[in-house]
Structure 1
Amino acid sequence: MVYGIGLWVFLAAVALTLTSISLPSWLSYTSPSSSPTSKPIHVSYGLHSRCSSLTGCSPFPAQEDCHGEDRYFCSMWRSVGFLMNFSVVLELATFVSFAVVLLGGRGNRENGWKMCVGLLAVVMVCQIGAMGIVAFLFDHDNRFFVGWTLDKSWILCTISWIVMAVDVVGMSVAAKVLPAEDDYEPIPDRR
């Protein structure tokens, strides 16, 4: 039962991860409207695209974004994309570990929590790293001035690794506190 609950919690975190990657909204800016009839300009950065209310979406970072002083930003942004995509690969490995534990025998269920918790911890580290890099760029890069905000994808990534942390703690505590499975067979009462 513990692994079943852990799997559902994990799948919720995976959904949050995939949504954060697919939405082009890690950082966004909306200009203040100069008049009640004019539309504000909205710009957002995703891991693989930049969207604007004026020009639509385009691949990001593009080759022209990676020259001169922008090379640092480009490298860091691509590192975020790599970490998030790598975390999806690790989530797939974690799903396989859950399947092995749930479909395996008693021994797998008693000791499999270590493999699941370890993989979840590595996924968390990747997501915390990606989230931290975006927050660092938000605070230190000149292209993000007053009015830019950390947006939905950044928040979803944060919630995703927090949900995984809860899963790690829950499975670890359950493994240490709950009694072993089928520890004894009760003797039937013959009255």
Structure 2
Amino acid sequence: MRKTSYAATFVAVLIILSINVASVYLPDWLIAKYDILNAQVTVRYGLTERCERAIISFPGPSNGGRLEYTDYECRPFPLSVKDKCDDENRLFCAVWTSAHYFTELGIGFAAMALVSLLIGVSTHSRRRRVWRAVAGLVILHAVFQLVTFILITELYRKNRFPAFEHAKPGVGYALNVASWILGFVVGTGVIVTGVAADHGYKWAAGNRAYRRIR
């Protein structure tokens, strides 16, 4: 494969990795909003964190005026006691935690793909072979992100956690979708380009196209 192909792959995988890291640490995979008396409550659920913002409105001293008090608090999620992980939400907590582990594994495979690219482009002989490892690692990354998506979607769709009844997907959820779609696209592109280079196509292999010994 051409060096330019590997450079483009490196940039693409770096973007995917950045998207993954952002999705893991953003506490807004699912967002639930409630109106309770004089309060507007927004609860954001991330893979490891739950954040709650409450805006409480009071009648002000002047006619028609109102006073507002805002409270914002985050905590780890899920917690064994507060989220009843030892009771009726045992299955939910296990699946939600597993989804976090799967996405972390996906990040690990994406990071390994970047390392493989840096090592693999050092010599011509390595460039001929390393695309297989890169493609495999990128696709493994996409598979683990897809598993995370399936698990979270199933919990959300079936309201496995009581608060999810009013929840909607947020930015973290969307970034996860983008990461595994891009992962499969990039992995497939590397395979197509690598196979074409092995067969001697100049557009894939460059000026030093590989020639099979007959």
Q: Number of residues paired by the alignment?
A: 180
Deviations 1:63-114 (A, max 9, x none): 21211111100100110111111112222211111111122x1121111110
Matches within 5 A, 1:1-191: 1-32=4-35, 40-54=40-54, 56-64=73-81, 65=83, 66-103=85-122, 105-140=123-158, 141-177=160-196, 178-179=201-202, 180-181=205-206, 182-183=208-209
CA–CA distance in structure 2, aligned partners of residues 144 and 32 of structure 1: 14
CA–CA distance in structure 1, aligned partners of residues 28 and 78 of structure 2: 14
Q: Secondary structure at the match of 2:141?
A: helix
Structure in which a larger fraction of residues adopt strand: 2
Query: Is the 8 Å Cα contact of residues 135 and 150 (structure 1) preserved in structure 2?
Result: no
Amino acid at match of 1:78: T
Alignment RMSD, CA only? Answer: 1.9
TM-score by length of 1: 0.87
Q: Secondary structure at the match of 1:63?
A: coil
Percentage of identical aligned residues: 24
Structure 2 gap ranges (5+): 55-71
Query: Is the 8 Å Cα contact of residues 32 and 164 (structure 2) preserved in structure 1?
Result: no
Structure 1 gap ranges (5+): 185-191
Q: CA deviation at 1:48?
A: 0.9
Larger CA Rg, structure 1 vs 2: 2
Query: Structure 1 residue runs of 4+, over 2 Å off?
Result: 31-34, 144-147, 176-181
Amino acid at match of 1:99: L
Higher RCO (CA < 8 A, seq sep 6+): 1
CA–CA distance in structure 1, aligned partners of residues 80 and 164 of structure 2: 23
TM-score by length of 2: 0.78
CA–CA distance in structure 1, aligned partners of residues 153 and 135 of structure 2: 26
Quick check: 124-133 or 174-183, which moved more?
Answer: 174-183
Query: Is the 8 Å Cα contact of residues 17 and 111 (structure 2) preserved in structure 1?
Result: no
Amino acid at match of 2:209: D
Q: Secondary structure at the match of 1:160?
A: helix
